[in-house]
A = this chain, B = another copy of it.
């Protein structure tokens, strides 16, 4: 059987950065040449970044991407390459679906005219283009907005006597779909380009699916994924190869750029567009395949949060971050993540005690800062509290109290943090978790004010697990645990009034989080929850809180998605929404 040395370029593309992404592709291709690779595969839309969103509606952007593909190196000194890009000018539409350009009211004018594509290039230029057939339009995906589905013959290239079928992401998820068609047309190896965002459990799911597909079709399959953060999404990499029995024979790291080079034995294949191989190179022996050990789930989430935060800052030009440290568990976790993302020197904490803050909170914040080796400054907020109380009380003709006073304190902190950000150029990282986001226990323009909401998709119970994970990791390495034990054991409180504790107005998080998961992530309605035996009063109160907080969530900063359904583009609920329990 012929052996193909395939290099999977698990790269960190930046959306819109055609120049930079092309440079990354070129760098990895040169590395692959040095390692004797026959072919380099890159992720879905590797040249454009994923997802480019409405950049794809700009003809000027599409034209620039096309020019960039045309400018990729054409030389037998480097291996042929599969590049993720867009294709236009193809006969993409089935004949019955052609546009009538003469009809000014034909709304099909609005339909996309490009395809999500992989271009196969060798020293002679582009020899073949594969187009994505199945376009995901659910969850965070809007591919029907941008792309025409690929139609027509599938794309196979032939290299070193192997017939390589090219697929793009969704295409491989369907049995009896494009993968099966490629094999029936003669492909003896499948290569899938992906931009598959991270969510808990996704790696295992991908590997089980690909193993099944390999066994069904009796071919090896290589899966190359994007890595790195893009706004709310983080790509975990974890590119891998299964042999024809479905066994994982190589796996790249999670959340790191890596060139995974694998010798793949495949049946000899005779079909496909012939690609010119690189000029002869030294390749004395087969490579030992690298199979990275997968992370445990909580560790994987932690790395996702670190990667998403690091890339949001780096790709948006922020060199440092500031965090309001309350001494509570959420801000402690965010500070630890920030330090792991950009280093302690680039992170600064601010303790902003009010008249209701406890001494232990300030001590805990200082203890955390010392353990993380970050600078901390304290700004008591009372002068502004007094001033604004007086101004507001005068305008309202009565004393400021209750929720208004609680929010006032939180917003003074927001103003201070944003002032520090304006002055220093540091980004404000906010500290709200998903449980709070869900029920709206966050002050709009207060604690939620900032540029990136690191743990907005992390339920409170997972916040505890992540803290323990990070502490255990430090202890294993012989370091000081970053998060003080007192932070982990005290009862959660916003300290916006004397003696306040979260459990006075909410059920314990161990009860709340599963209920929220059902309502928010699994779309179980309030009536259905009651039918399943949940307490009616509790369900009505919690679901009402979730619905009512939609207007707040719409104004939250972006944050890393780690669950199967995050707030944001993943869950598009109307603000104006009268659907309630008991809608018979």
> Using a CB–CB distance below 8 Å, which chain A residues touch chain B?
14-20, 49, 51-55, 57-61, 64, 67-68, 100, 103, 105-108, 110-111, 134, 136-139, 142, 144-145, 170, 173-176, 205, 208-209, 212-213, 229-231, 311-312, 315-316, 350, 377, 379-381, 383-384, 386-388, 390-392, 394-396, 400, 403-404, 407-408, 411-412, 414-416, 418-420, 422-424, 444-445, 449, 451, 523-528, 551, 554-558, 569, 571-580, 583-584
Contacts of A380 in B (CB 8 A): 391
A578 touches B176 (CB 8 A): no
Cβ distance A566 to chain B, nearest Cβ, rounded Å: 12
Cβ distance A313 to chain B, nearest Cβ, rounded Å: 10
A388 touches B416 (CB 8 A): yes
Cβ distance A514 to chain B, nearest Cβ, rounded Å: 18
Selected contact of A54 from candidates B229, B390, B573, CB within 8 Å:
B573
User: Which 8 A-B residue pairings sit nearest by Cβ, starting from the closest?
Assistant: A60-B525, A16-B579, A17-B578, A105-B209, A404-B422, A107-B173, A387-B387, A445-B445
Cβ distance A407 to chain B, nearest Cβ, rounded Å: 5
A407 touches B418 (CB 8 A): yes
Bound-state Cα–Cα, A355 to B18, Å: 47
- Contact (A15, B555) CB under 8 Å given A408-B419, A415-B412: no
Bound-state Cα–Cα, A525 to B59, Å: 8
A579 touches B18 (CB 8 A): yes
A415 touches B403 (CB 8 A): no
B578 touches A20 (CB 8 A): yes
Selected contact of A574 from candidates B51, B396, B451, CB within 8 Å:
B51
B316 touches A523 (CB 8 A): no
B396 touches A390 (CB 8 A): no
Cβ distance A80 to chain B, nearest Cβ, rounded Å: 24
Known: A100-B175, A395-B416. 5 other contacts (CB 8 A): A100-B176, A105-B212, A105-B213, A384-B391, A395-B420
Bound-state Cα–Cα, A112 to B508, Å: 36
Selected contact of A53 from candidates B64, B231, B572, CB within 8 Å:
B572
Cβ distance A199 to chain B, nearest Cβ, rounded Å: 14
A583 touches B18 (CB 8 A): yes
Q: How many copies does the complex hold?
A: 2
30 contacts between A and B (CB under 8 A): A15-B574, A15-B578, A16-B574, A18-B579, A51-B574, A54-B571, A58-B523, A59-B523, A59-B525, A59-B528, A60-B524, A60-B528, A64-B583, A105-B175, A105-B213, A108-B134, A231-B575, A315-B578, A383-B390, A384-B391, A388-B412, A391-B416, A392-B416, A400-B419, A400-B423, A404-B423, A407-B419, A411-B415, A415-B415, A451-B551
Cβ distance A379 to chain B, nearest Cβ, rounded Å: 5
Contacts of A387 in B (CB 8 A): 383-384, 386-388
Bound-state Cα–Cα, A524 to B209, Å: 42
Bound-state Cα–Cα, A16 to B49, Å: 37
Cβ distance A20 to chain B, nearest Cβ, rounded Å: 7
A578 touches B392 (CB 8 A): no
Bound-state Cα–Cα, A510 to B447, Å: 39
Bound-state Cα–Cα, A404 to B411, Å: 16
B574 touches A52 (CB 8 A): yes
Bound-state Cα–Cα, A578 to B24, Å: 15
Bound-state Cα–Cα, A396 to B137, Å: 47
B576 touches A315 (CB 8 A): yes
Cβ distance A127 to chain B, nearest Cβ, rounded Å: 24
B106 touches A173 (CB 8 A): yes
Cβ distance A212 to chain B, nearest Cβ, rounded Å: 7
Contacts of A523 in B (CB 8 A): 54, 57-60
B231 touches A60 (CB 8 A): no
A175 touches B16 (CB 8 A): no
Closest to A554 in B: B558
Most buried by B among A139, A229, A573: A573
A208 touches B407 (CB 8 A): no
A316 touches B584 (CB 8 A): no
Most buried by B among A205, A208, A551, A575: A575
